[in-house]
Amino acid sequence: MSEFAHPRIARFRIFQNGIINLFLFFNHHFDFWQASLITTQQIRERAMNKWGVGLTLLLASTSVLAKDIQLLNVSYDPTRELYEQYNKAFSAHWKKETGDNVVIRQSHGGSGKQATSVINGIEADVVTLALAYDVDAIAERGRIDKNWIKRLPDNSAPYTSTIVFLVRKGNPKQIKDWNDLVKPGVSVITPNPKSSGGARWNYLAAWGYALHHNNNDQAKAQDFVKALYKNVEVLDSGARGSTNTFVERGIGDVLIAWENEALLAANELGKDKFEIVTPSESILAEPTVSVVDKVAEKKGTTAVAEAYLKYLYSPEGQEIAAKNFYRPRDPDVAKKYENAFPKLKLFTIDDEFGGWTKAQKEHFSNGGTFDQISKR
């Protein structure tokens, strides 16, 4: 590979050539001055002019040594802590590799709402959303390549999670499994599937459990999920909002949550206040990532944006994910953190629901099963 393929080397060569040209420039004019009979005032004026030109050349050469780059990562609700750490690590990595300074700005909210904001024009260089359907929705509007899911390993899902329960210390309502959430007197907190990706995972996890305990009877599964949502006291727009409702406002007996969000709350927000209950089975949740091609091409950030997402799969990126309670893909990192994540039976969106396109249409579109069970 040519040395000029590396951006830092290429810019150094430009800088080096600038210095050489500057030296030759002054050498030529010094010889010319020696050979000329001009006044002292003329020498001073010419010298000042030449130094001005030389300084301009020097500054122009130096300016190519480092660039300042900004990326916008539009992400879903509970990834704040993850990307706060990861962005610092990637910036240091990119600086070391290229000499460039990269600053990553973040936007967080319910995954569905975030996807809509990108569709409506927010200039995200990358999206890191809760589920593939939300990225597909952006791709359908032409802002992301329709084959985005195959551009990175593991269907562009660099880490995984699942759905668990967060209860108050001592588990006063004795919540053990999904069937306990439909009992009278149990107050449930979960976000709204219309706006939150995590809420859609929650809903489908409950539906899958009901199918498996009712001989795959869809009608009985719908009745089960309807009974569960009758016990929901607050439907926030995003997962972090639901966590705040349960943790900060003290509302509800049980929070249906991303595993990473529940672990964060239990381990860092109140070990003496909360407990995690892992159900007998749940869904394999696969948050997905993509470059927003139209924006990155327009801003000239495609190379940095691609590197930013690829670095999530690096050992350092996987370590940061695991430390923030996401299940890492890397086998070595997963083995290192295996005791941090309880073992449970996991089913997939493809196996139980035929993929996200079908699940979205049947359950979360206007008039779908969620709308049907939500009618009071």
Domain ranges within the chain, ordered by starting residue = 3-55, 68-159+287-339, 163-284+344-374
Inter-residue contact 327 to 336 (CB < 8 Å): no
In the 3-class helix/strand/coil scheme, how is 213-264 assigned residue by residue? CCCCCHHHHHHHHHHHHHCEEECCCCHHHHHHHHHCCCCCCEEEEEHHHHHH
Q: Which two tokens stand for residue 195?
A: 């706006």
pLDDT at residue number 352:
97
pLDDT at residue number 87:
99
Measured between alpha carbons, how far is 242 from 14 in angstroms, rounded to an integer? 54
Inter-residue contact 115 to 137 (CB < 8 Å): yes
- What predicted TM-score, i.e. pTM, was given to this entire model? 0.83
Predicted confidence (pLDDT) per residue in 124-161, tens digit:
999 999 999 999 999 999 999 999 999 999 999 999 99
Q: Quote the CATH superfamily of domain 68-159+287-339.
A: Periplasmic binding protein-like II (3.40.190.10)
Count of CB atoms situated within 10 Å of the CB of 7: 15
CATH code for the domain defined by 163-284+344-374: 3.40.190.10
Inter-residue contact 252 to 242 (CB < 8 Å): no
Q: How far is CA 57 from CA 8, 21, 64, in A?
A: 19, 9, 12
Predicted confidence (pLDDT) per residue in 271-293, tens digit:
789 999 999 999 999 999 999 99
Predicted confidence (pLDDT) per residue in 175-228, tens digit:
999 999 999 999 999 999 999 999 999 999 999 999 999 999 999 999 999 999
Measured between alpha carbons, how far is 184 from 174 in angstroms, rounded to an integer? 13
Q: Looking at 35-174, list the stretches that DSSP marks H as alpha helix, in order from N- to C-terminal side.
A: 40-63, 80-98, 111-119, 132-140, 153-156
- The angle, 0 to 180 degrees and rounded to 10, between the axes of the packed helices 197-212 and 111-119 is 130
The CA-CA-CA angle for residues 362, 368, 374, to 5°, reads 135
Predicted confidence (pLDDT) per residue in 33-71, tens digit:
344 434 445 544 554 454 454 445 444 444 456 689 999
- Domains 68-159+287-339 and 163-284+344-374 alike in fold: yes
- Mean pLDDT of all residues in the chain? 88
DSSP string, 334-368: HHHTGGGS---EEE-HHHHHSSHHHHIIIIISTTS
